[in-house]
């Protein structure tokens, strides 16, 4: 699945959107968008005025032609608004088609109470059924592993090529329909009814079929409807005022004025902005259960993050070589690398990498005839027996002490002091011995993921507080928190502690986000305003959350928060731009209507528009073409840079508020210059 498609529209999407623009003209569909529904009614009225001008009291030279042009521009305005929404839906449908290719009508091996296998279609499976999936089988639907252990290829869903291990119990028992077992076998209890799997939900969401308006979107829609009603009352009141001033205003001009003054720009783009926001989230392989969840990300004040797997790698890596007694750093580095030259564990590889950074490179080929001693639970050490008889070992402190004593050596006086210091810091000491001599200690620590310091700083610039939760002791937690750059931490954290801190933040009016994957995370995920569950985690965690990350990357919540903020900023910026447009349209049309009867009105004709007819049509044409020009911004979102809310608000007011006043002045004047010669030819 393409996550970051640079082209927001292609030929196929454009053609489908153009066709859907006409289908959406159905009044039942248009009524869902009251602002554009008013424009459609205006189009119908002006079309009737074009056909029967005298029946509506319209008279005058070329009035039918004028009404026809107004009607055409209004029709194009509605089409452009429909096109914007259809483009957003088209992107989702294109992505849904890609997802549908991964959903096949597979066969399922249904197990009965006696263990007998019946092969049925996956679509016939019910929630609670138990199925057997073996090497090469597709998992027929979402479920929980109740028996077995196997590698599962999830690339069809996540795009990640490396198979993941699934087993009964623990935090990696959840499986997704459409993924493939590539080793061994699993017994899976189906947890979703046909058509209700995560893949089905994702397809439905990206198609826009089940997208519900968020509270913010509903509130903005209410504001737009209120403004429309206010301007409608103003326009109706304008007619008797004009008659009193002995100014004859064509009905089509009043309709044009209404359409120009109501917030048609944001009205035409509002739905597209919401759909595009959901689309950006799904392109990151995140299922948002609702638009409300995406928007809540944009309002997040506090982020709760697990330490292991989110802030740190989870595997303890070599951080430092510490010499003991009279031994040198070079000695410890060399023998630590030698003991790990054939150690394929993450710890072993990290020791070799750290030695390389310290300019101590060990050539494995030189020790091809040496015997590598693997780590076992009994010996608790590993190492290498070199051909010349030298024995090199690394391992737990007491195990290496016993090894050195067996070889006839003595224990360095500073060994216990160094190992205790490392343990207090939350690290793991690995002691290195060469025959009877203990030469030094390897300091293993849970390493902070690269780039997180910068990302947490970015969140801080947004005004978001980060809190790390860990089961480590306070000293270890403080060390990791300082290194990662989080704002606060909770040491020796239990599941109930996470819920407590979430409720505490919420009681202060803050919006809280958190990630989790285990059953013990489910209550906190449900309590948080934004709960991002890992797809690799338990079913209970996924059901409690309002977002599921198919890639199972705990740090992805950082990007999701930025997408949520971008959605809110985009909607706010385009709303500001749309309402600001009305100022310029006011100065274009009002003087044009009253200038003949009230010459003083010419003083506010600051654009020096050619004729009243040109002024009305220029404003109306600008009102139409600005919608498609803003579609790229609605689709891609306003460019977002982390900064304080107050600074961001000021920036957007200056850019889209002031810009929303200046751009129409320029645009309407340019259109006026272009259409005036044509209107003279037409006699208007």
In a domain, 370, yes or no: yes
Percent of the chain residues past pLDDT 70, beyond the cut: 88
Q: Are residues 583 and 463 in the same domain?
A: no
Q: Same structural domain for residues 276 and 307?
A: no
Q: pLDDT tens digit string along 556-572?
A: 887 888 888 888 888 88
Radius of gyration of the chain (CA): 34
Contact (Cβ atoms closer than 8 angstroms) between residue 606 and residue 586: no
Residue with tokens 């610039």: 461
Tell me the binding residues for Mg(2+).
517, 521
Segment 270-297, tens digit of pLDDT: 888 877 777 777 777 787 776 677 778 8
Asked, for residue 113, whether it belongs to a domain, the answer is no
DSSP string, 581-607: HHHHHHHHHHHHHHTTT-GGGGGG-TT
Do 520 and 436 belong together in one domain? no
| Residue 371 forms part of a structural domain | yes
**Contacts with 160 (C-beta within 8 Å, 6 or more apart), sequence order:** 154, 551
Q: Verify whether residue 306 is a known catalytic residue.
A: yes
Residue 616 lies in a domain: yes
Residue 428 shares a structural domain with residue 321: yes
* Of 66-80, 129-143, 193-207, 444-458, the least confident: 193-207
pLDDT at 1: 40
Residue 434 forms part of a structural domain? yes
How confident is the model over 173-189, as pLDDT tens digits? 778 787 888 888 889 99
Helix axes 452-462, 474-484, angle to 10 degrees: 80
Six token digits for residue 684: 């208007």
| Domain co-membership, 535 together with 570 | no
Q: Which domain holds residue 254?
A: 11-94+205-283+564-682
Which residues make up each annotated binding site for ATP? Answer: 343, 347, 375-382, 394
* Residues 520 and 617 placed together within one structural domain of the fold: no
HSE, CB side, 13 Å, CA atoms: give it for residue 7. 8
Same domain, 87 and 211: yes
| Average pLDDT of the segment spanning 657-671 | 90
Task: Report if residue 137 sits inside a domain.
Answer: no
Which of 494, 525, 550 is the C-terminal boundary of a domain? 550
Query: Mean pLDDT, to the nearest integer, of 515-539?
Result: 80
Q: What is the pLDDT of residues 398-454, one digit of tens each?
A: 899 999 988 888 899 899 999 988 887 778 899 999 998 999 999 988 778 888 888
Q: Which domain CATH number covers 542?
A: 3.40.50.1000
Q: What is the CATH number of the domain that holds 354?
A: 3.40.1110.10
For the segment 211-270, what is each residue's pLDDT rounded down to a tens digit?
Answer: 556 677 778 888 888 888 988 888 888 778 777 777 777 888 889 888 988 889 888 888
Active-site residue, from 306, 446, 551, 672 = 306
- Of 550, 584, 606, the last residue of a domain is 550
Number of domains in the chain: 3
121-148 pLDDT per residue, tens: 877 888 888 999 988 888 888 888 888 8
Residue 578 within any structural domain of the chain = yes
- Average pLDDT of the segment spanning 308-312: 74
Judgement on whether residues 380 and 457 belong to the same structural domain of the protein: no
Last residue of a domain, one of 550, 583, 598: 550
Tokens standing for residue 377: 């639970």
Element (H, E) at 444: strand 437-448
CA neighbours closer than 13 Å in the CB half-sphere of residue 170: 10
Cβ contact 527:502 at 8 Å: yes
* Average pLDDT in the chain: 82
What strands lie across the sheet with 381-385, from one edge to the other?
Answer: 312-323, 437-448, 428-434, 391-395, 381-385, 371-373
Name which of 33-37, 503-507, 612-616 the model is least confident about. Answer: 612-616
One domain, residues 85 and 215:
yes
Same domain, 320 and 436: yes
Spatial CB neighbours of 537, under 8 Å, sequence gap ≥ 6: 171, 172, 174, 516, 517, 518, 521, 552
Q: Are residues 266 and 410 in the same domain?
A: no
Annotated binding residues? 343, 347, 375-382, 394, 517, 521
**Do residues 279 and 292 both lie within one domain?**
no
Residues contacting 458, CB < 8 A, separation 6+: 558, 642
pTM: 0.65
At which residue do the structure tokens 């259960």 appear?
289
Which of 400, 404, 392 lies closest to 362 in space, CA to CA?
392
The answer to whether residue 617 sits within a structural domain is yes
């Amino acid at each position: 699945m393409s996550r970051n498609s640079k082209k927001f529209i292609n030929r196929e999407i454009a053609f489908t959107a153009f066709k859907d623009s006409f289908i959406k003209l159905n009044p039942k569909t248009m009524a869902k968008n009251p602002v554009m529904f008013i424009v459609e009614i205006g189009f119908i009225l002006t079309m009737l005025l074009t056909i029967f001008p005298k029946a509506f009291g319209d008279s005058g030279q070329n009035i039918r032609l004028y009404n026809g042009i107004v009607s055409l521009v209004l029709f194009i305005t509605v089409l452009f608004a429909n096109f914007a929404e259809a483009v957003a839906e088209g992107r989702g449908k294109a992505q849904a088609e890609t997802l549908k290719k991964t959903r096949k009508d597979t066969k399922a091996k249904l197990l009965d109470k006696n263990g007998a296998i019946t092969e049925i279609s996956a679509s016939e499976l019910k929630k609670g059924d138990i199925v057997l999936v073996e090497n090469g089988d597709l998992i027929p639907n979402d479920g929980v592993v109740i028996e077995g252990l196997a590698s599962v290829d999830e690339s069809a869903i996540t795009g990640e090529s490396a198979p993941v291990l699934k087993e009964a119990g623990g935090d990696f028992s959840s499986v997704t329909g459409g993924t493939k077992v590539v080793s061994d076998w699993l017994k899976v209890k189906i947890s979703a009814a046909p058509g209700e799997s995560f893949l089905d939900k994702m397809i439905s969401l990206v198609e826009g079929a089940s997208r519900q308006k968020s509270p913010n979107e509903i509130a903005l829609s209410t504001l737009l409807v209120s403004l429309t009603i206010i301007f409608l009352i103003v326009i109706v009141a304008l007619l008797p005022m004009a008659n009193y001033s002995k100014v004859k205003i064509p009905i089509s001009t009043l309709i044009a004025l209404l359409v120009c003054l109501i917030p048609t720009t944001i009205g035409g783009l509002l739905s597209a902005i919401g759909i595009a926001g959901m689309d950006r989230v799904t392109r990151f392989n995140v299922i948002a259960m609702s638009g409300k969840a995406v928007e809540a990300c944009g309002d997040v004040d506090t982020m709760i993050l697990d330490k292991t797997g989110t802030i740190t790698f989870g595997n303890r890596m070599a951080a430092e070589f510490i010499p003991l007694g009279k031994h040198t750093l070079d000695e410890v580095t060399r023998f630590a690398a030698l003991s790990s030259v054939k150690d394929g564990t993450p710890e072993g590889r990290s020791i070799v990498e750290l030695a390389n950074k310290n300019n101590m490179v060990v050539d494995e080929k030189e020790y091809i005839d040496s015997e590598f001693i693997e780590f076992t639970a009994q010996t608790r050490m590993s190492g290498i027996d070199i051909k010349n008889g030298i024995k090199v070992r690394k391992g737990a402190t007491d195990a290496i002490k016993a090894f050195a004593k067996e070889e006839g050596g003595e224990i360095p006086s500073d060994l216990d002091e160094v190992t205790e210091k490392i343990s207090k810091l939350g690290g793991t000491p690995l002691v290195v011995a060469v025959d009877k001599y203990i030469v030094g200690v390897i300091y293993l620590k849970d390493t902070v993921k690269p780039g997180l310091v910068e990302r947490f700083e970015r969140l801080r610039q947004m005004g978001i507080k980060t809190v790390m939760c860990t089961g480590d002791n306070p000293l270890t937690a403080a060390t990791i928190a300082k290194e990662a750059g989080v704002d606060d931490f909770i040491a020796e954290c239990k599941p109930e502690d996470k819920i407590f801190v979430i409720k505490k933040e919420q009681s202060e009016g803050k919006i809280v986000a958190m990630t989790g994957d285990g059953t013990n995370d489910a209550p906190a995920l449900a309590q948080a305003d934004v709960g991002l569950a890992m797809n690799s985690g338990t079913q209970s965690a996924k059901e409690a959350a309002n977002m599921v990350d198919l890639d199972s990357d705990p740090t992805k919540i950082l990007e999701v928060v930025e997408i949520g903020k971008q959605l809110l900023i985009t909607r706010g910026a385009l709303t500001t731009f749309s309402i600001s447009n009305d100022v310029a349209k006011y100065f274009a049309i009002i003087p044009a209507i009253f200038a003949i009867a009230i010459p003083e009105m010419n003083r506010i004709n600051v654009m020096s528009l050619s004729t009243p007819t040109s002024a009305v049509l220029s404003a109306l044409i600008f009102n139409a073409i600005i919608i498609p020009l803003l579609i790229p911004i609605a689709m891609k979102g306003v460019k977002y840079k982390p900064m304080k809310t107050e600074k961001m608000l000021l920036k957007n007011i200056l850019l889209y508020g002031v810009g929303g006043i200046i751009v129409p002045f320029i645009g309407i004047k340019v259109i006026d210059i272009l259409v005036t010669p044509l209107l003279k030819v037409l006699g208007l």
